[in-house]
Amino acid sequence: MRVTWLALEWPRAGHHSGGVGRYVRRLAERVRDLVELTVVCFEGAVPMAGVRLVELPAPRGRIGRYYGAALRASRAIRRLEPDLVHSHGDDVLLPRGVPLVRTFYGSSLGEARSSTGLRRLNHYVLAGLESRSAARATRTLAIAPESLELMRCDAILPPYFGVPPGERLPSATPSVVFIGSFEGRKQGRVAQAAVAELGGERGEVALTVIGPADDAASWAPWVDHRAGLSDDEVADAVRRAWVLVSPSAYEGFGIPVLEGLDHGLPVVAYPNPGSEYLRSLADGPVPLDLASGDAFTEALRRRLAAGPELEPAERHAARRLIDEVLEAGSPARLLEHYEAAIRAARASA
């Protein structure tokens, strides 16, 4: 089966890779031996053995990223003639006639509601394009109930494959890790303010931030900001923290939250569709505390006061949650969706 992915979030050398980009690369590692895989992505993409990369010019600005890139991607895929296209976004201009599987990593409508200014307007426009994308796809996949219901998707395929193996070695003194940017929906400023209140400026609590290089100047001098890390380096940084925080205004799924739990950390997060979905799957005392505003800081205070280690019941509950998500999002499940899309396309031809 010749499968082409449209995956413009594919990791690029020297660039911060978000949760979707890291997930797509991990998915490719598991799918490349099952299909003949080609990935349409931006130039500078990190190569992978067994995967053909078709690179597009890197965009400049918001218009180039969300609209110009979609046009270039459509032209590239027309030339490839695959048996099936799996879009991870940016597919509104794709040619018709080829079975199309579309994964929705949350919703632009949800992003718009948690954004401001031009970003908010842009995501409202993209929300309309997403609806068109869902209507023309042969099969649609969601990462959580929000996108399943909003886009009327066929199934949920959680975007998670676990974390690199390694021993957890928490720091000797209280420490917090955050993944994302200072502003925007990730709301890193909330993480910084909470840690500052608990002693960050006095060196009593450390804050490590993993985010884009061009965001480093936004953070206070006492914050340890790191950019351009590999998956293994991200894992090492997370494993040393006592608590992972995620005060995101919106997450369709929340990969950093699950990564924190998988590494054996307690997580303090804002309630949003992604974190609430993960909490709903929990069977037992999963160490995932949902709180916002002043309650977020208090929840972080309690977790730090409890020390870096989880209770045995918390570890077991977190492991059950991780295992459930891993089974639901396996490559074998994805291949079943590919085959179903091809059958449906043939039946309607």
Q: What is the DSSP string of 42-111?
A: ETTBPP-TT-EEEEEPPP-HHHIIIIIHHHHHHHHHHHH--SEEEESS--TTPPSSS-EEEEE-S-HHHH
Are residues 90 and 111 located together in one domain of the fold? Answer: yes
Number of domains in the chain: 2
Give the CATH number of the domain where residue 225 resides: 3.40.50.2000
3-state secondary structure of 255: helix
The model's pLDDT over 63-122, given as tens digits with 9 standing for 90+, comes to: 767 667 888 888 898 899 899 999 998 776 677 788 999 998 876 565 656 666 766 666
12 pLDDT more than 70:
yes
Query: How many residues are there in the chain?
Result: 349
Are residues 318 and 337 located together in one domain of the fold? Answer: no
| Segments forming the whole domain that contains residue 321 | 175-327
Domain annotation covers residue 35: yes
3-state secondary structure of 319: helix
Are residues 184 and 143 located together in one domain of the fold? Answer: no
Domain annotation covers residue 315: yes
Domain annotation covers residue 164: no
* Percent of the residues in the chain that have a pLDDT greater than 90, as a whole number: 66
Are residues 64 and 122 located together in one domain of the fold? Answer: yes
Amino acid identity at 195:
V
Are residues 96 and 49 located together in one domain of the fold? Answer: yes
The model's pLDDT over 118-168, given as tens digits with 9 standing for 90+, comes to: 666 666 666 666 767 777 889 999 988 888 888 899 999 998 988 988 999
The model's pLDDT over 245-270, given as tens digits with 9 standing for 90+, comes to: 999 998 988 889 999 999 999 999 99
182 pLDDT more than 80:
yes
DSSP H/E element including 289:
strand 288-290
Domain annotation covers residue 167: no
Are residues 279 and 342 located together in one domain of the fold? Answer: no
Domain annotation covers residue 165: no
The model's pLDDT over 280-313, given as tens digits with 9 standing for 90+, comes to: 998 899 999 999 999 999 999 999 999 999 999 9
Are residues 121 and 28 located together in one domain of the fold? Answer: yes
Are residues 218 and 230 located together in one domain of the fold? Answer: yes
Are residues 336 and 268 located together in one domain of the fold? Answer: no
Are residues 341 and 300 located together in one domain of the fold? Answer: no
Are residues 66 and 135 located together in one domain of the fold? Answer: yes
Give the residue with greater pLDDT, 206 vs 116. 206
Domain annotation covers residue 21: yes
Are residues 11 and 106 located together in one domain of the fold? Answer: yes
Domain annotation covers residue 168: no
Q: What pTM does this model have?
A: 0.77
Instruction: Give the span between the Cα atoms of 55 and 40, in whole angstroms.
Output: 6
